[in-house]
Amino acid sequence: MDISLFINSIYIISALLFIAGLKMMTSPSTARSGNMISASGMLIAILTTLLEQGIIDYKWIFLGIIIGSIIGVFASRMIQMTEMPEMVAIFNGFGGIASLMVAWAALYPELTDFDINNGYLVGSSNTLLMATIIMSILIGGITFSGSLIAYCKLSEKIPGKAYLIPGQRFISSCIVLALLIFSYRFIFGIATNSTDFIAVIVLALMLGIILVIPIGGADMPVVISLLNSFSGLAACSVGFVLDNNLLIVAGSLVGASGLILTKIMCKAMNRSLANVIFSSFGSVSQTTSKIQGKVKQVNIEETYLMLEAASSVVIIPGYGMAVAQAQHVVQELTVLLEKNDCDVKFAIHPVAGRMPGHMNVLLAEGNVPYEKLVEMDDINGQMSLIDIAIIIGANDVVNPAAINDESSPIFGMPIINVQDAGTVIVLKRSMASGFSGIENELFYGENTQMLFGDAKTTINDLVAEFKS
Amino acid sequence: MEIILTSFVFILSLLLGFELINKIPATLHTPLMSGTNAISGITIVGAIISSGSGEQTASVILGTAAVVFATINVVGGYMVTDRMLNMLKKKPRTAE
């Protein structure tokens, strides 16, 4: 049998396994097997590719796979669940750079005249192929540099706050214009040396940086989702370069997934994608009117007495819970409350944390059963029946200004209506405003009690009170 | 006409992707992202071919580097997803 026919038949099976794997991700009970099925699709794709006739030298392939596997195994074992956003961000970047390199490598066999010493390049007459290569370089480059910046911001290697770069739009527009010119020259063979090609790579990398640098931490769920989509689309466009349907199918599945997550995140913040990328939300200090009311403070013992009397409690976790690593003690408290005949639920806002589903994974690590997690829309209707709402390190997602203050920058964003609960207890380190820099009138509310301190220590003390 | 065929495949798989992913619950969004990280490592297929082509040094170097990055994605992505899903599957240890 023709070897390439065989390889392509296996690729079809591999694509089907990816699809089946994703389908099984629709339920937590089958998700793990789905992941295995997807992985087996990848394994047979890799093994089959090794049969490709064009391969004459295996040593570099195996060296690459061994190095990559060691790093991959190490990274996946060492990573803390709180660090998942960083890991996904850097992996998006790796996908982007790998696609960029494959497209770049595909260029060389096509060149009609090539001399590596002089860097002299005469473009191929295959315009369509050159266009797909440039496309892959663009998407891959933006994904790589953008993801690196996102990674640095998430891991606090550079400050995670939003920056307002003067003339950001002007600079980005210039880069885009230059990219168009150089790409045009390259695709249509006007370029006479490799400068144009290198310029496209450098400009794509610059564009990724300048697009992500101004975006602040609270908008990271949107950025990571979008870059996730881009890493898939990069693989997809490499599929066009190599005429490989498997790359196209797998890449577009990832592209679609990232786009849907991006859409969900934008909707949960009531903002458009353009607004997230171009507005540097929260970088300007807000001049909101001073909120009337007094902040009421409680101590551990008072909180304990309130919780002991409560029959229903809703916990609203936010990024602060991840920072304090409080997920395990939260579960301990949950168990004690339930022993005390109290119904405990967790209300999860879609953009709580730094990536889609961040809170769910953290609570799962803390052994909180996922049946206890409810989504925003489901809990809001019954909030008035809840005795106590405990807010752990969340701020903007529970700010009533989103409902009743039209001048607020977050007006219109769907929130968890904790102000309707009997009592609201806010665990917070200080009165500092949330990520967006907006004052939260909830803290001054009639039924709000503030419990200051590190979330983990505070909950530990509460647990101790319950046990004594 | 080749490009029309591949575009056809692209559009259909994109639509299939939208249908599939829309049904995935919020609880699984983080594993979904790391799992798709791994899938985007499919570019390893192209990387392997360049890395083993053995003709032009530049292609081999770029291909091998791409194999490294793509393998990190594939191996790291699937393993960390498995770790997470294992936690999600774990049965509750509540008060009894």
* Residue, of B35 and A80, whose pLDDT is higher: B35
Q: Which residues neighbour A49 within 8 Å (Cβ) at sequence distance 6 or greater?
A: A7, B44, B45, B48, B49
User: Residue A67 is nearest to which of B68, B79, B88, comparing CB atoms?
Assistant: B68
Please say whether the beta carbons of A54 and B55 come within 8 A: no
Optimal mutation site among A27, A91, A367, interface B, most CBs of chain B within 10 A: A91
Report chain A's terminal Cα–Cα distance, integer Å. Answer: 76
User: DSSP readout, A207-235?
Assistant: HHHHHHTT--GGGHHHHHHHHHHHHHHHH
B10 touches chain A (CB under 8 A): yes
Do A138 and A255 lie in one domain? The reply is yes
Report chain B's terminal Cα–Cα distance, integer Å. Answer: 66
Q: Which residues of A touch B73 (CB under 8 A)?
A: 72, 91, 94-95, 98
Q: Do B74 and A42 touch (CB under 8 A)?
A: yes
pLDDT, position A284: 45
Q: Which residues of B touch A28 (CB under 8 A)?
A: 25, 27-28, 85, 88-89
Distance from CA of B22 to the nearest CA of A (A): 7
Q: Provide the β-strand partners of residue A113.
A: A122
Q: Which residues of B touch A350 (CB under 8 A)?
A: 26
Residue type, B56: Q
pLDDT tens string, chain A, 468 residues long: the values are: 688 899 999 999 999 999 999 999 998 889 999 999 999 999 999 999 999 888 888 999 999 999 999 999 999 999 888 888 999 999 999 999 999 999 999 888 776 555 544 444 555 667 888 899 999 999 999 999 999 999 998 888 887 777 777 777 888 889 999 999 988 888 887 766 678 888 999 999 999 999 898 887 778 889 999 999 999 999 999 999 999 999 999 999 999 999 999 999 998 888 888 877 776 554 444 444 556 677 888 888 888 888 888 889 999 998 888 888 888 999 999 999 998 889 999 999 988 888 888 898 889 888 888 888 888 888 888 888 889 999 998 888 888 888 887 777 777 888 898 888 888 998 888 776 655 566 788 888 888 888 888 888 889 888 888 887
Do A49 and A102 lie in one domain? The reply is no
Measuring CA to CA, how many Å separate A414 from each of A119, A219, A267? 55, 15, 9
- Domain end call among A251, A285, A319: A285
Average pLDDT over residues B29-57: 92
pLDDT, position B94: 43
Nearest to A28 by CA among B18, B29, B95, B17: B29
Please say whether the beta carbons of A399 and A434 come within 8 A: yes
Q: What's the rounded Cα separation, in Å, for the pair A447 and A453?
A: 20
Nearest to A462 by CA among A335, A374, A366: A335
Do A270 and A391 lie in one domain? The reply is no
Q: Provide the β-strand partners of residue A315.
A: A346, A390
Do A197 and A258 lie in one domain? The reply is yes
Do A170 and A136 lie in one domain? The reply is yes
User: Residue B40 is nearest to which of A116, A231, A240, comparing CB atoms?
Assistant: A231
Mean pLDDT (chain B) is 88
Please say whether the beta carbons of A383 and A297 come within 8 A: no
Do A141 and A253 lie in one domain? The reply is yes
Do A35 and A150 lie in one domain? The reply is no
Q: Provide the β-strand partners of residue A373.
A: A346
Instruction: Evaluate if residue B91 carries a pLDDT over 70.
Output: no
Q: Which residues of B touch A253 (CB under 8 A)?
A: 13, 16-17, 20, 36, 39
Instruction: Evaluate if residue B35 carries a pLDDT over 90.
Output: yes
Token pair in block for residue A119: 């860097």
How open is the CA angle A371-A372-A373, to the nearest 5 degrees? 95
| Sign of the C-alpha dihedral computed for residues A79, A82, A87 and A90 taken in this order | negative
Q: What's the rounded Cα separation, in Å, for the pair A215 and A299?
A: 37
Distance from CA of A9 to the nearest CA of B (A): 15
User: Residue B26 is nearest to which of A105, A128, A360, comparing CB atoms?
Assistant: A360
B68 touches chain A (CB under 8 A): yes
Optimal mutation site among A65, A137, A198, interface B, most CBs of chain B within 10 A: A65
pLDDT, position B1: 66
DSSP state of A1: -
Within a domain: residue A295? no
Q: Give the total number of structural domains in chain A.
A: 3
Measuring CA to CA, how many Å separate B68 from each of A232, B59, B61? 17, 14, 11
Q: Which residues of A touch B2 (CB under 8 A)?
A: 243
Q: What's the rounded Cα separation, in Å, for the pair A353 and A465?
A: 29
Question: A212 is in which domain, residue-wise?
Answer: 84-285
Measuring CA to CA, how many Å separate A2 from each of A16, A46, A128, A239? 22, 18, 28, 21
Helix (H) or strand (E) holding A337: helix A327-339
B8 touches chain A (CB under 8 A): no
Do A251 and A332 lie in one domain? The reply is no
Give the β-pairing of A388-392 and A312-317: parallel
Do A120 and A41 lie in one domain? The reply is no
B43: nearest CA partner in chain A: A235
Q: What's the rounded Cα separation, in Å, for the pair A232 and A46?
A: 17
Q: Which residues of B touch A360 (CB under 8 A)?
A: 26-30, 88
**Considering the entire predicted model, what is its pTM?**
0.88
Q: What's the rounded Cα separation, in Å, for the pair A346 and A372?
A: 6
Count the Cβ atoms, other than its own, within 10 Å of residue A247.
30
Kindly list the catalytic residues of A.
Answer: 396
Do A208 and A88 lie in one domain? The reply is yes
Do A163 and A279 lie in one domain? The reply is yes
Residue A426's SS3 state is: strand
H helix intervals, A50-156: 59-78, 84-107, 127-154
| Sign of the C-alpha dihedral computed for residues B43, B44, B47 and B53 taken in this order | negative
DSSP state of B22: H
B12: nearest CA partner in chain A: A249
User: Residue B17 is nearest to which of A94, A257, A356, comparing CB atoms?
Assistant: A257
How open is the CA angle A316-A318-A385, to the nearest 5 degrees? 10
**Sheet bearing A388-392, strands edge to edge:** A373-375, A343-348, A312-317, A388-392, A423-428, A448-452
Distance from CA of A194 to the nearest CA of B (A): 13
Q: What was the ipTM of the complex prediction?
A: 0.93
pLDDT, position B95: 38
B96 touches chain A (CB under 8 A): no
Residue A297's SS3 state is: strand
Q: Provide the β-strand partners of residue A388.
A: A313, A423
pLDDT, position A112: 57
Average pLDDT over residues B50-63: 87
Within a domain: residue A431? yes
Q: Which residues of B touch A76 (CB under 8 A)?
A: 75-77, 79-80, 83
B20 touches chain A (CB under 8 A): yes
What are the phi and psi torsion angles at A373 (to 5°)?
Answer: -85, 125
Q: Do B40 and A254 touch (CB under 8 A)?
A: yes
Do A182 and A256 lie in one domain? The reply is yes
Q: Provide the β-strand partners of residue A346.
A: A315, A373
pLDDT, position A286: 47
User: Residue A108 is nearest to which of B52, B59, B80, comparing CB atoms?
Assistant: B59
Phi-psi sector, A291: left (phi>0), alpha (psi -120 to 50), beta? beta
Please say whether the beta carbons of A325 and A458 come within 8 A: no
